[in-house]
Structure 1
Amino acid sequence: MDELQFALIGAGVSVLLGVIIYNAWQHIKIRRALPRSLPTTELKQKEHIEEIVDEIALLNPVQTSLQPQAYMQCDEAAKEATLSSTSATNSPADPTSHLLTNANRNPKPRSIIDHRIDCIVPLHLSAPIVAEKLIPLAQRLRRAGNKPIFIEGKASANSASWQNLQPGDRYQALCIAVQLANRSGPLNELEFSEFITGAQTLADALDAELECPDMTATVAIARELDAFAAQCDVQLSINATSDGAPWSAQYIQTIATQDGLLLSRDGTRFIKLDAQQNPIFMLQFNNINFLRDDLTFKGGQNITFLFDVPAADEEAFPFRLMCNYATSLSQRIGAHLTDDKQRALSAAELAAIEQQLITLYAKLEAAQIPAGSPLARRLFI
């Protein structure tokens, strides 16, 4: 090699070392600004779930029809948390989960269809039908627009018990149903027509007679249900705001994991589940994705706790559990509770909000759709 080549190699090595040293310096500089050391006290376990409103206005009815985005977040939280948990053992969240593929999985499949939130259409069979013939046809009918479709059968025409379709069974009677409302809004004329078209196709394939309901009456019932649900569709949130320097995302992830919260499948929130693997409340931190973002460099000064009122079981006292956990966490990490406008929240204000929830719970009970019940989780999804 001549002197020129040596000079070029030396220059390249110098530039490379300079870049490495500069990046290392930047890394150290940011780490000093964000992370804190973890407290050494043992972390307690409590809970979390969804959406942001104002302090006293927290309980005002949702203005738009069933808030599609809020509904979607709650549903995703339930699905993702169940998938993330190693102890989850219940059925999938797909609308066709009633179409079981393993006869031993649920020896006595329960009924899903309910007249309170479904439009139910009987199918009169000319002869009994085996599940193996019915299930492939039923799997084609999953949704009408944004509304799930369910099909159930009776082993005896005189039986009062409907059940989900299961391989190995033989059915004397069938019914098909479409959900009347969810957070995408009420069943509309187009969705109703799509449902009836699919139901008629199934009836023709089974040589069965379909009892078609009146579209105008059905759509009117769907709108009434949607209006009721809009009055009960409340999401509450509180924040833990730092008393000093911001926290790093890595620090928050460590705390949430040690406190027993499960990371959602999309990585955007941590979820606290009850004993039945249903969400109680959620924790979000500065719109950070804990799977994709660099947790060392990302940070913030606000942790948000979210609680979806109709989707969480009232008997678990979800709002109280969320507040207790938020208070405990704030004491451990140096923070105070605030509303969405960064105003401090006192224990008395939180207790007043919890008292106001009693009215909402009573309204859901009166409609026979109690908070946290399977019907409520279907309606508010």
Structure 2
Amino acid sequence: MSGFTVGLAILGGLVLAALVAWNAWTTRRNTPRQAELPVAMAPAGDLVQERTEPVFDAEPLSPMPPPPERKPGLDGLIDVLARIAVDVPVSGEAALAALPPTRRAGSKPFAIEGHNDATQEWETPRVGQRYNGFQAGVQLANRSGALNEIEYSEFVMKTQAFADAINGSPEFPEMRDEVARARELDQFASTHDAQLGFTLRARNAAWSPGYVQQNAARLGFVPGAIPGRLVLPAHMPGGPPILGLAFSTQAALSEDPSHSAIREVTLSLDVPHVPRSEQPFVRMRDAAIALAASMDGLITDDDGRVIPAEALDAIGADLESLYDTLDARDLSAGSPQARRLFS
């Protein structure tokens, strides 16, 4: 065999080896990172690695049901209120039977409360109780806009029908005044609403759902009610989650999640819903930095631009001013009124 032929054979072998190495590297790079397998202690004291699939890449985890949350009552700050006088106390059974089938007037929440004859407190009518008066309310504004004339008229009709059923006499405030109040509140809410979101993008290898869940769990996140969503629970039972972490629902519901490739996740904070005392932005910033470091990712905005650490600190400073403004309006972040208004 001539030297030239030998040279070609060697060159061909090198090219083939390079292709094999390239394919192996590409395959490894494109394979989603997996959650770490659990490690168990052997009887003799040696560490052994169990040959089982990590629980995070099994079927989606079922979230623990949150404790029941007491629905906040009507409030003249954010509701139109119409008092309903009655000549004699009305039973809870009669009041419940007279309630309208829907609890909305257009896009606005609608509710009726009774003044409990025994406790002297306003509450949603209950069986076995008696009520010496009622009030109906419709929310002035929410994230769908301000209460308008058509919605106010629907509120009046629903309230009047309830009052007629219990032999009550309603008293309605002036529609023009309430609609004007709704527009002013909506303007304030639109100017002071804040829903923050950071996107974590994979630098190199994609992530499996189990890998994302495992890293997020180390920071306190738990599965949410929707597949592909994790939440950081509030300290107070029944409170709204502090943060949300979302990725592809399709990936979460895949028959084999370990092969689902996720290249980005979204970390979110609904500012008016979380009390300032929870330090939600600090926890959001720290969670983003920790996840980016542990998962080899980048913190970016919606357009893919990397967000530097100093920019994160500036956002936090702006939020303090927003919290002060909400406090001054008696709509402190995390309060029942703020959560209803910004919904």
Partner of 2:92: 131
Alpha carbons 2:251, 2:261 under 8 Å: kept = no
Partner residue in 1 for 2:18: none
**Superposition pairs of residues 53-92 of structure 1, within 5 angstroms:** 84-86=63-65, 88-91=66-69
Q: Identity of aligned pairs, percent?
A: 35
- Is 1:36 aligned with 2:33? yes
1:314-329 correspondence runs (5 A): 314-329=276-291
Q: Corresponding residue for 2:340?
A: 378
Query: 2:166, 2:35 → 1: CA distance?
Result: 64
Q: Does the C-alpha gap of structure 1 residues 230 and 327 become closer, same or farther in structure 2, counting only changes over 3 Å?
A: same
Count matched residues: 294
- Is this contact kept in 2: 1:30–1:297, CA < 8 A? no
Q: Distance in 1 between matches of 2:328 and 2:87?
A: 40
Corresponding residue of 1:227 = 187
| TM-score using structure 2 length | 0.77
Contact 2:118–2:130 (CA under 8 A) maintained in structure 1: no
Q: How far, CA to CA, are the matches of 1:165 and 1:227 in structure 2?
A: 33
Q: Which residue of 2 aligns with 1:206?
A: 166
1:319-358 deviation per Cα after TM superposition (whole angstroms, max 9, x unaligned): 1101111111222122232222333323222111101101
Q: In 1, Cα distance between the equivalents of 2:37 and 2:258?
A: 20
Q: 2:314 aligns with which of 352, 377, 380?
A: 352
Supply the distance in 1 between the matched residues of 2:157 and 2:131 (Cα, whole angstroms): 22
Let me know the Cα RMSD of the aligned residues: 2.7
Give the AA of the match of 1:232: H
Q: Which has the higher contact order (CA 8 A, sep 6+)?
A: 1
- Output the TM-score relative to the length of structure 1: 0.70
- CA-CA distance at 1:302 after TM superposition: 2.1
Asked whether the equivalents of residues 239 and 339 of structure 1 are also in contact (C-alpha less than 8 Å), the reply is yes
Say if 1:121 and 1:177, in contact at 8 Å, map to a contact too: yes
Partner of residue 192, structure 1: 152
Aligned to 2:136: 176
Kept after mapping to 1: 8 A contact 2:84/2:135: yes
Aligned residue identity for 2:90? I
Distance 1:157 1:194, change over 3 A: farther
Q: Is contact 2:32–2:259 with CA below 8 Å preserved after alignment?
A: no
CA shift at 1:267, angstroms? 1.4
- Partners of 1:185 and 1:347 in 2: how far apart? 35
Instruction: Tell me the distance in 2 between the aligned counterparts of 1:289 and 1:124.
Output: 56
Q: How does 1:1-381 map to 2 (within 5 A)?
A: 33-38=30-35, 84-86=63-65, 88-91=66-69, 112-138=73-99, 140-156=101-117, 161-257=121-217, 259-276=219-236, 277-286=239-248, 288=250, 290-291=252-253, 294-381=256-343
Identify unmatched segments of 5+ residues in structure 1.
1-28, 43-82, 98-110
- 1:31–1:297 contact (8 Å) kept in structure 2: no
| Inter-partner Cα distance in structure 1 for 2:249 and 2:27 | 19
